[in-house]
Amino acid sequence: MDQMIIRGGKPLHGKIHISGAKNATLPLLTACLLTDEALVLSNVPQLADIATMGNLLGQHGAAIALQAGEGGFGHTMTLHAKTITSTTAPYDLVRQMRASILVLGPLLARCREAKVSLPGGCAIGTRPVDLHIAALEKMGAVITIEDGYIHAAAPQGLKGAEITFPMVTVTGTENILMAATLAKGETILNNAAREPEVGDLAQCLVKMGAEIEGIGTDCLRIQGKDRLHGANHTVIADRIEAGTFAMAAAITNGDLELIGARMDGLKSVFDLLAKAGVVAEKTADGIRVRRATEKLIGVDVMTEPFPGFPTDLQAQMMALMAVADGAAMITETIFENRFMHVPELARMGANITVHGSSAMIRGVKKLKGAPVMATDLRASVSLVLAGLAAEGETTLSRLYHLDRGYERLEEKLSACGADIRRVKKVG
Ligand code: EPZ
């Protein structure tokens, strides 16, 4: 089991390449199931979750070729599901990554049947898929749950329907959006997720011949087609990675240029960081981030669906607020158990008290390095941020959580002056 060893106190300076977005790539990969032609995706990040999705799609019958990008970033993946050889997504693959549920809509739309393992919960919550299932049933699918699997069938094919999500669901929106592209007639999705990653998927589907109106809004209108064709698409930059590195610049009192980052997906984040004393400026190649004031200022945060503050940056913001001047109240409204990083940050000297879905953080002068444990993807990177600012040495274990969503993290950080290295722990 690898470990990350960080010696804190070094301000980060320089440029960091922002990779393609994990949460855009995952649905884009499953879109290959919607056509018997080749889908070519560029700017694909090399992450554990992407490899897991590739394995899943491969066992459905997709031929996958990977071509490394220059400088080792931005790979090109060609996916060709000429025929679907299996409509079953097995538990041993699905349990590794919840986003596997994204094959359900495409398989049902193309093959009129699917057997997909229920994903099971994860550290941050139960994360049911009832909204995905209810929407597909409205489109004519007959769905039963047996032995931990979703058994779905639509012998006459899916038909368009008007669907209103009772709560915003990102992969729920993506699953139904993909299913609707091959359904008979029109589908209207109300209260659709507006995350930029949903928009990126929609843009790719349009290139594949889909007819979608309202991209970027909370109401998507899709006219179903008989078939989709292949396409070439470039994955958008990862706004969560960009937001994470913006906070790395702030917490170390450094000055970073985030190459490839775009302001439009991070407006709520940068507005809040400005109140906390952090300035972000658009540059020709991305976004430059540094402190505007000597001290960071505690600010209140509430996570919300896009365009609100993203839940995927909540843990990172908490690490930043742990060393700010004053208090910050962070309220997590999306997931019921996304404070797993709190006890680990407390081990480093952070002063945090949790009251239900809110955490009160009282800034301290300095955090102290300590051995800490990753529990989920974003919690693990918040501990890296804390380690970068802490006095002394931080050892982070269970790095497999980190490797799911951050491409060559230690390489990117050490190139900007961080004292961070990965060591293989024997046994
Ligand atoms: C996506 O997860 C992201 N994953 C998550 O990123 C992200 O945190 C989340 O959206 C919220 O932005 C991918 O895009 C692959 P939801 P998703 O459906 O789609 C409840 C990361 O760190 N809900 O928007 O699974 C659910 O329990 C990951 O990169 C239902 O009740 O999230 C949650 O409370 C973590 N029933 C809320 O809705 C359903 O059928 C939002 O979940 C679906 C969701």
Active site residue 219: no
Mean of the pLDDT values across residues 137-150? Answer: 96
Q: What is the DSSP letter of 264?
A: G
Nearest ligand 1 atom, CA 134: 40
Q: Who has greater pLDDT, 419 or 119?
A: 419
Nearest to 315 by CA among 236, 232, 244, 245: 244
pLDDT in tens, 17-37: 999 999 999 999 999 999 999
Residue 59 has pLDDT above 90, yes or no: yes
State the distance from the centre of ligand 1 to the C-alpha of 306, rounded, in angstroms: 12
Which residue's CA is the closest to the ligand 1 atom numbered 10?
A: 170
**Given pLDDT bands bounded at 50, 70 and 90, which one contains residue 119?**
confident
Which residue's CA is the closest to the ligand 1 atom numbered 37?
A: 334
pLDDT at residue 427, as a whole number: 61
pLDDT at residue 21, as a whole number: 98
State the distance from the centre of ligand 1 to the C-alpha of 7, rounded, in angstroms: 34
HSE-CB of 156 using CA atoms within 13 angstroms: 6
Which residue's CA is the closest to the ligand 1 atom numbered 30?
A: 128
Residue 11 has pLDDT above 80, yes or no: yes
High-pLDDT (> 90) share of the chain, %:
93
pTM above 0.85, yes or no: yes
Place of tokens 């509430």: 302
pLDDT in tens, 229-241: 999 999 999 999 9
- For the chain, the average pLDDT equals 96
Cis previous bond, 307, omega within 30: yes
302/309 Cα distance (integer angstroms): 7
pLDDT in tens, 347-369: 999 999 999 999 999 999 999 99
Nearest to 67 by CA among 36, 37, 92, 46: 46
State the distance from the centre of ligand 1 to the C-alpha of 26, rounded, in angstroms: 13
Catalytic residue among 111, 122, 204, 219: 122
State the distance from the centre of ligand 1 to the C-alpha of 48, rounded, in angstroms: 19
Residues with CB under 6 A from ligand 1: 23, 26, 98-99, 125, 127-132, 167, 169-172, 311-312, 334-335, 377-378, 405
264/262 Cα distance (integer angstroms): 6
Query: Which residues, including other chains, have CB under 8 Å from residue 351's CB and lie 6 or more apart?
Result: 322, 361, 362, 363, 364
Mean of the pLDDT values across residues 148-154? Answer: 96
High-pLDDT (> 70) share of the chain, %:
99
pLDDT in tens, 283-330: 999 999 999 989 999 999 999 999 999 999 999 999 999 999 999 999
Q: What is the DSSP letter of 309?
A: B
State the distance from the centre of ligand 1 to the C-alpha of 169, rounded, in angstroms: 6
Which residue's CA is the closest to the ligand 1 atom numbered 4?
A: 23
Residue 215 has pLDDT above 80, yes or no: yes
67/54 Cα distance (integer angstroms): 14
Residue 121 has pLDDT above 70, yes or no: no
Which residue's CA is the closest to the ligand 1 atom numbered 14?
A: 23
Mean of the pLDDT values across residues 105-121? Answer: 93
